[in-house]
Structure formats: C-alpha cells, structure tokens
C-alpha cells in the first residue's frame, strides 16, 4: 500500500494554543481512490486538508505526495506540487471580482499561463461538464444560486485536470436533490479524470455515494479506516453513533449551560 | 503581579504584531520586484487609487487652498503682511497640506476598501482558493496594490497641489481683491523645486503606507463580518497615524537644517 500511496500522512499533529486538533493522524490514500473523512463539526477535518495543501503547517509529522515530503517545502516546490491539486471549498470560494468563466479559467490562466481565449473555451467546456450552459459564463458569482455556485466551483476544481481533488463539505447548505446532483457530478468527474479524491463531510448519504474508503476523525485521531461497504460493520460505537446520527452514545456534544 | 502580567502581555503582543508586519512588508516588497508582474491588476488598482480618488482629493484641495488664503489674509493683516499670503498658500499646499490631506482622504477611501476586500476574501476562503490555484496571494493581491499606491499618490498630490493653489488664487483675487498677476508672481517667486519634490516623495511614502496597512489588516482579518469590520477600522486608523508620523520624519529630513 505504502509504495503506491498518492498521499501519505504519518503521525501528523496540529494544535491551536492548548487545543489539539490533529493528534497523530496516520493514513495512506492510494492513487485513483475516493477517500472520505467523516466526523463531527470541529473535529479537524478541514485542518487535515489544509495541512496537506500547505495552507497550514503541521506541528509534527510527515505528509508525502507521490512520495515527496511536503512539510517545510520551499515555496517554489510547493507551487509545483499544488499544480497536482484541485479543490472544491465548502462555501465555493468563487472570486467575486471575476465572472464565472474567469473563475473557472483562473488556474489555467494564472497557474498554467494558458492564453485567455483558449482558457475561455476550456472554461465553457468544463461548465458544460458540470451541467451549466455558456449563458452563465459571463455572470458574476453573486448572480448564481448556491447549487450553481458549487457547480462552478467544481468546474474550477477540475479545469486544470488535476491528479488529486479535495472536496470540503461539498453538499453543505444544499437541498437534498441538488446535493445528490453534486454527488453524481463528483463521482462522474473523478472517474473521468482518473483522479485521487479526498472529501470531508458529515453528510452520510454523500459519503456513502462518493467514497471507496472512509475514515472517521474524532478528537484529532482517525478512529476507524475501512472500505465504505464495511462502515455499517465497523465494530466502533463512535462510528455507529455518527453514521446513524444518534444523540445517545459515546460521542458527547459539548454543550454549555 | 496581575498588572505586570498585563503589561508583559501587551508588550509581547506589540512585539508579535511588529514582527508580523515587518515580515509581511519584506515579503510584499519582494513580490513587487520579482516576476511575474500582473500588469493588468496594477492598471486596475492605479485606476481605483488614482482616477477614482480624483474628485474627493480635488474637493479637499480646493477648499483647503481657499480656507488657507482666507485665514492667512485675516491673520497676516494684523501685522500688515498680506503680501505673503500667496507664498504661504503655495508653500503650505505643496509641502504639507497637499500630501497629508490627500493621504488621509485616500487612506479613508482606498485603505478601507483594500482591507474590506482582502478581508472578505480571507474569511470566505478565497485567499486559500488562490493558493490552491497555484497563485501566490502576495503577488496577486498585495503587490499590485502596493505598486499602484506608490505610483498614484504622487500623481494625485500633484493634482491636489495645482487645485489647492488655484483655490487660494480664487479667494485671493475674487474675494480679497489681490491683483492676479501679483498673486501669481508671489506664488512662483519663493517656490523652489524641493518644495514640490518633498511633497511628492511624502506622497509616495503615504501611498505605500496606505496600501500596506490596507493589505496587511485585510490579510490578517479573521472571524467573519466583525473581523472584516475591525480590519477596515484598523487599516484606516493605522494608516492615518503612520501618515502623520512619517510626515514629521520626512519633514525633518528634508527641511531640518
């Protein structure tokens, strides 16, 4: 497994002040697989993704992408490694000052130095791929609904045909039908690109639909890692409570009265 | 003991803030001179800072020149020195009031806008999105604003100087009854290149300070709308204080003989 791993996390720790968010996370993600990290809000899922992307630096541990150590990497090398990634942010994170097509083509123009006309055509092609017509290309992101913004963000994430795609809460804030549309698009786009996908979500329907393997993050540790088909037979009371959304169980919500 | 701890905390906070600002400044300046340079973005910022600030700076300058002429005339009349009004107006406007007032007005207009825009991008993950699209936020967001600020403030101040002196001329000639030719002659007679040049150098420094504080506060804003609001306030207040402080230092360097 280790030899073919696309992404490897080894004993990754990250704290904010006295609060430990990642506490020795170790996992291998194979090339071409769709890996989903589930867990409650504030359990460190987004921090884990940001550490892999280099947006945050872990306090301790090692993160390898294609066998290359990325922790403490020089800025130029980081830029090179980031060209392998695409990311769909939770709130879409579209650039307000740019039109829809400029958002989709951003990585092509700025990162890959593609000619604007070519990048425009490619952006339109990617918009079609996520079910949006050329008529939205010139609109501003603020003129789109939440579901359309997510689709534009997905088009932007896949525009440069990355080897690895991250999805941060891809269905949050969407109605069930639109959430399922996004799930289908994720599966289709990842399959077409042959990319490695890492998603974080607490939407179990989405997690089951888009993943090959799952892991559950709780109190900064991956308490269970396994095939999606096995999640209902995890033998973990924590996983059981989470996937069935029960208030009773070992996971206690921190409520202050 | 608590008092000493509080003083220590404030002092450590100050040192941390100063260190962070120093690092930010060095990184931002290094991106201003290293390729790639985003000419399109610099042009857009130059329009925003220079062209769109013209009305507010022009209005400030003309009324300042008019008030200056009026106040100088009534003050100098007490010791029969009305002949010095034109000289006082032109020297005050070019050396001090032009650059300082233009700087303060632009700090309110542009510094706040920069902090709000970059701050909003920061809290909505748009800055993280830039990184994942292989684009350095310093190069894309900060450097164009700093270069535009450095270049456009002197242009604005040159216009403010002309409009301010013209305001004084209007009041002097049409309200106070000075001879136009004599007023203009007095204005030119004692004006030296250093008076204008010092004002333009100050303007360039103020432009740098405004852009830097706008970008720095926006870049480090956290916590949603409240954080962005705080960053905007901090940007304007810190830029205004730094403008007044650096104005004294520059005046002492230029004219303290």
Rounded-to-integer distance, Cα B137 and Cα B127, Å: 6
pLDDT, tens digit, 9 for 90 and up, residues A133-163? 888 999 999 999 888 898 899 899 988 888 9
pLDDT of residue A255: 54
Average of per-residue pLDDT values in chain B: 91
Cβ-Cβ contacts under 8 Å for B98 (sequence gap 6 or more): B61, B157, B160, B161, B164, B199, B203
pLDDT, tens digit, 9 for 90 and up, residues A203-242? 888 888 888 899 999 888 888 998 988 888 888 888 888 8
Rounded-to-integer distance, Cα A99 and Cα A130, Å: 17
pLDDT at A4 over 70: no
pLDDT at A256 over 60: no
Confidence of residue B148 (pLDDT cuts 50, 70, 90): very high
Contact A95 B129 (CB under 8 A): yes
Which residues of chain A does B26 touch, with a Cβ-Cβ cutoff of 8 Å? none
Confidence of residue B80 (pLDDT cuts 50, 70, 90): confident
Contact B131 A54 (CB under 8 A): yes
When CB atoms are compared, the residue of B117, B128, B134 closest to A83 is: B134
Rounded-to-integer distance, Cα A78 and Cα B134, Å: 9
pLDDT, tens digit, 9 for 90 and up, residues A101-119? 999 999 898 878 888 999 9
- Closest-CA residue to B21 (of B233, B223, B219): B219
- Name the most confidently modeled range: A13-22, B55-64, B218-227: B55-64
pLDDT, tens digit, 9 for 90 and up, residues B4-33? 899 999 999 899 989 999 999 999 999 899
Domain ranges of chain B: 38-255
Residue range A1-84+166-257 in CATH 2.40.110.10:
no
Decide: helix, strand or coil at residue B209.
helix
pLDDT of residue B49: 92
Which residues of chain A does B140 touch, with a Cβ-Cβ cutoff of 8 Å? 110
When CB atoms are compared, the residue of A90, A111, A166 closest to B135 is: A111
| Chosen from A56, A107, A126, A198 to mutate, greatest number of chain B CBs within 10 A | A107
Q: Could you give the percent of chain A with pLDDT greater than 70?
A: 96
When CB atoms are compared, the residue of A75, A82, A97 closest to B132 is: A82
Decide: helix, strand or coil at residue B135.
coil
- 3-state SS of chain A? CCCCEEEEEEEEEEEECCEEEEEEEEEEEECCCEEEEECCCCCCHHHHHHHHHCCCCCCEEEEEECCEECCCCCHHHHHHHHCCEEEECCCCCCCCCCCHHHHHHHHHHHHCCCCHHHHHHHHHHHHHHCCCCHHHCCCCHHHCCHHHHHHHHHHHHHHCCCCEEEEECCCCCCCHHHHHHHHHHHHHHHHHHCCEEEEEECCHHHHHHHCCEEEEEECCEEEEEEEHHHHHHCCCHHHHHHHHCCCCCCCCCCCCC
Question: Among A173-177, B120-124, B135-139, which stretch is predicted with the lowest mean pLDDT?
Answer: A173-177
Q: Could you give the percent of chain B with pLDDT greater than 90?
A: 69
ipTM: 0.85
Expressed in angstroms, the distance from the first to the final Cα of chain A is 47
Domain ranges of chain A: 1-84+166-257, 88-161
Question: Among A51-55, A148-152, A244-248, which stretch is predicted with the lowest mean pLDDT?
Answer: A244-248
For helices B2-33 and B143-170, angle between their N-to-C axes, nearest 10 degrees: 90
For helices B193-219 and B2-33, angle between their N-to-C axes, nearest 10 degrees: 110
pLDDT of residue A36: 92
Strand-pair category, A213-218 with A196-201: unpaired
**pTM of the shown model:** 0.86
A182 and A174 Cβ atoms separated by less than 8 Å:
yes
């Amino acid at each position: 497994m280790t030899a073919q791993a696309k992404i490897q996390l080894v004993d990754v720790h990250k704290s904010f002040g006295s609060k430990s968010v990642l506490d020795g996370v170790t996992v291998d993600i194979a090339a071409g697989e769709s890996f989903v990290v589930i867990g409650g809000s504030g359990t460190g899922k987004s921090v884990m993704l940001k550490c892999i992307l280099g947006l945050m630096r872990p306090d301790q541990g090692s993160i390898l992408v294609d066998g290359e150590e990325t922790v403490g990497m020089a800025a130029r090398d980081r830029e090179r490694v980031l060209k392998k990634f695409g990311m769909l942010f939770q709130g879409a994170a579209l650039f307000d000052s740019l039109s829809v097509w400029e958002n989709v083509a951003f990585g092509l123009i700025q990162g890959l130095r593609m000619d604007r006309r070519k990048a425009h055509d490619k952006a339109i092609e990617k918009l079609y791929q996520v079910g949006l017509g050329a008529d939205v290309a010139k609109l501003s992101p603020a003129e789109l609904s939440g579901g359309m913004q997510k689709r534009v963000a997905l088009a932007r994430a896949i525009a440069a045909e990355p080897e690895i795609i991250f999805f941060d809460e891809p269905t949050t804030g969407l109605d069930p039908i639109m959430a399922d549309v996004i799930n289908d698009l994720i599966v289709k786009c990842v399959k077409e690109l042959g990319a490695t996908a890492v998603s974080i979500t607490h939407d179990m329907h989405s997690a089951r639909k888009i993943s090959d393997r799952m892991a559950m993050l709780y109190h900064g540790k991956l308490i269970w890692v396994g095939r999606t088909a096995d999640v209902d037979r995890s033998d973990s009371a924590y996983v059981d409570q989470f996937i069935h959304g029960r208030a009773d169980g070992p996971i206690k919500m921190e409520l202050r009265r | 003991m608590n008092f000493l701890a509080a003083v220590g905390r404030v002092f450590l906070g100050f040192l941390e803030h100063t260190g962070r600002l120093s690092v930010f400044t060095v990184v931002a300046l290094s991106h201003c001179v290293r390729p790639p340079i985003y000419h399109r973005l610099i042009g857009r910022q130059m329009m925003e800072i220079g062209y769109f600030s013209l009305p507010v700076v022009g209005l400030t300058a003309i009324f300042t020149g008019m008030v200056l002429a009026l106040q100088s005339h009534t003050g100098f009349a007490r010791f029969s020195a009305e002949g010095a009004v034109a000289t006082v107006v032109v020297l005050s406007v070019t050396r001090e009031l032009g650059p300082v007032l233009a700087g303060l007005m632009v700090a309110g207009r542009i510094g706040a806008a920069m902090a709000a825009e970059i701050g909003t991008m920061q809290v909505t993950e748009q800055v993280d999105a830039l990184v994942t699209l292989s684009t350095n936020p310093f190069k894309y967001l900060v450097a164009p604003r700093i270069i535009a600020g450095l270049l456009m403030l002197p242009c604005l101040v040159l216009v403010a100087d002309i409009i301010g002196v013209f305001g004084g001329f209007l009041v002097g000639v049409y309200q106070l009854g000075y001879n136009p030719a004599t007023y203009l002659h007095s204005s030119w007679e004692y004006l030296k290149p250093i008076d204008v040049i010092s004002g333009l150098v100050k303007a360039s420094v103020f432009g740098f300070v405004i852009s830097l504080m706008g970008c720095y506060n926006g870049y480090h804003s956290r916590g949603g709308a409240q954080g962005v609001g705080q960053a905007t306030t901090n940007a304007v207040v810190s830029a205004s204080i730094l403008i007044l402080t650096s104005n004294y230092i520059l005046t002492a360097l230029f004219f303290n003989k």
